[in-house]
Amino acid sequence: MTQPRTEGETPRVMLYSQDGFGLGHLRRTSLIAAALTQACSSAAVLTAIDSRLGAFFEPAPNQDYLKLPSIVKIGPGEWQAVGLPLDFPQVHAMRSELLCATARTYRPHLLLVDHMPHGAMGELLPTLEALRRDSGTRIVLGLRDIIDAPPVTREVWAREGAYEAIDRFYDQVLVYGRRDVFDLGAQYGLPPSVASRVRYTGYVASPSKGLEAARLRTRYAAGEGSGRALIVAMAGGGADGYPLLRAVLDALPLVRERQPCTAVLVAGPFMPSGRRRELQRRARAADARVHVSVSDTLSHIRAADVVAAMAGYSTTVEVLCARTPAILVPRRGPSAEQRTRAGLFAGRGWIRAIDPDDLDVETLAAALLASLAQGTVRGRPACDGLRVAVGSLLGLLGGDCAEAAAAAGMLEEGAAAPAPPANLLAPLKLE
């Protein structure tokens, strides 16, 4: 197994990202992987993923993927296979053995586990056990700001042994959020023995500057001064985004009674093809456009006068960074994550929120008009979580990686994260 890294040895990083339903975890993991290799060019990064789309985002230099059989969460603590017509225990065993065998062969100096301390239904425990037997591997848990309703997460984590896994295996816990907004440690009952290992990084977003915003605005709305407002609607992965995007199209006539506008809809790669074709047909009649995905979401958000989106982590954080007025319509389930985030952010005046049970054309049209009248949103938080998170990881790797992070200012307050390659988050196929 892994031994402490010797001088001149390639630093090996392994990332675990379980993302069977959408793209949020894979997107965040890809950002971190790119920033790691950008800051420390000698590092090698291997990411274990299970997205149905595989390596959807273009890999960074020195990075590759291990594809696990895909699974999806159907309820608290309940999972099923996505593609293989096999019982979940069999697929679960395959995934667990693949992860452990890969870790034994790859011998990572650092393992970053996203979201699930013990992996889906404990699949990561054999890997953690094997790596912990060798003190040369540093193990870090990365958690998004909100996981689920606290009682649900506490019950699932207690039943599945997640608390014990955090206490036994992890050198550090990175929380990709702000403690003053949602105190993850307190809400989910992290044990006191873990408290000293927890670091709140702030929100993790792409370091992209959205430089294509002006070009996109000209393309979609005839540029500044045209009098046409640009509404951008995003459905995340898209599996359950149809109601929001249809509501946006239906609301356009009401909005246009007071404000000339056009709309760009990003359906997401998981939206059923029949639903997407219906949106495209309706959009043609409504002077709007529908894309499956776009290569630069931040530029689209910055180009917009208002964004209507679901309340997934990645889209929400990019909206905060852009300071564009936004209306969030959270997912109904299977977890309370998006409803919690939308409620907390709306309470701080960062966004407007509409509960999915209250979504109708009149309510959405009124929210769109109010947001168009609002202009740029002030007082939103900084989005420097990528710098903080990657600086922490490189510090744990030590050696030339820690030196590179310090030289780039990533271990100091106020320093900028290194920009990933321009095509990092470009989906491999666009429509």
Query: Distance between CA atoms of 67 and 76, rounded to whole angstroms?
Result: 24
pLDDT band at 136 (very low <50, low <70, confident <90, very high): confident
Residue 151 CB: number of other CB atoms within 10 A? 12
* Cα distances (Å, whole numbers) of residue 219 to 173, 229, 242, 301, 307: 43, 13, 25, 14, 17
**Mean pLDDT over each residue of the chain, to the nearest integer:** 88
pLDDT band at 91 (very low <50, low <70, confident <90, very high): very high
Tokens 């030289």 found at = 407
pLDDT band at 418 (very low <50, low <70, confident <90, very high): very low
pLDDT at 423: 37
pLDDT at 163: 94
When mean pLDDT is compared over 26-35, 166-175, 206-215, 422-431, the highest value belongs to 166-175
Element (H, E) at 114: strand 110-114
Higher pLDDT, 345 or 8: 345
Query: Distance between CA atoms of 282 and 270, rounded to whole angstroms?
Result: 19
pLDDT band at 64 (very low <50, low <70, confident <90, very high): very high
pLDDT at 35: 93
pLDDT digits (tens, 9 = 90+) for 351-375: 999 999 999 999 999 999 999 998 8
Average pLDDT over residues 380-384: 88
List the domain boundaries for the chain.
Answer: 12-204+383-407, 213-374
pLDDT at 237: 87
Average pLDDT over residues 403-431: 52
pLDDT digits (tens, 9 = 90+) for 170-226: 999 999 999 999 999 999 999 999 988 999 999 999 887 778 999 999 999 876 667
pLDDT at 428: 36
Name the least confident of 134-138, 229-233, 337-341: 134-138
Query: Distance between CA atoms of 45 and 34, rounded to whole angstroms?
Result: 9
Residues 220, 254 contacting (CB under 8 angstroms): no
431 pLDDT higher than 50: no
pLDDT at 376: 80
Report percent pLDDT > 90 for the chain: 67
The arrangement of strands across the sheet holding 229-234 comes to 288-291, 261-266, 229-234, 306-309, 326-328, 352-353
pLDDT at 22: 62
pLDDT digits (tens, 9 = 90+) for 279-292: 999 999 999 999 99
Report percent pLDDT > 70 for the chain: 90
Number of H helices, E strands in the chain: 15, 15
Average pLDDT over residues 390-395: 95
For helices 242-256 and 273-285, angle between their N-to-C axes, nearest 10 degrees: 10
Query: Domain 12-204+383-407 class?
Result: alpha beta
Average pLDDT over residues 122-129: 94
pLDDT band at 413 (very low <50, low <70, confident <90, very high): very low
pLDDT at 411: 67
Among 34, 20, 27, 52, residue whose Cα is nearest residue 294: 27
- Does domain 213-374 fall into CATH 3.30.750.200? no
pLDDT at 75: 73
Higher pLDDT, 165 or 54: 165
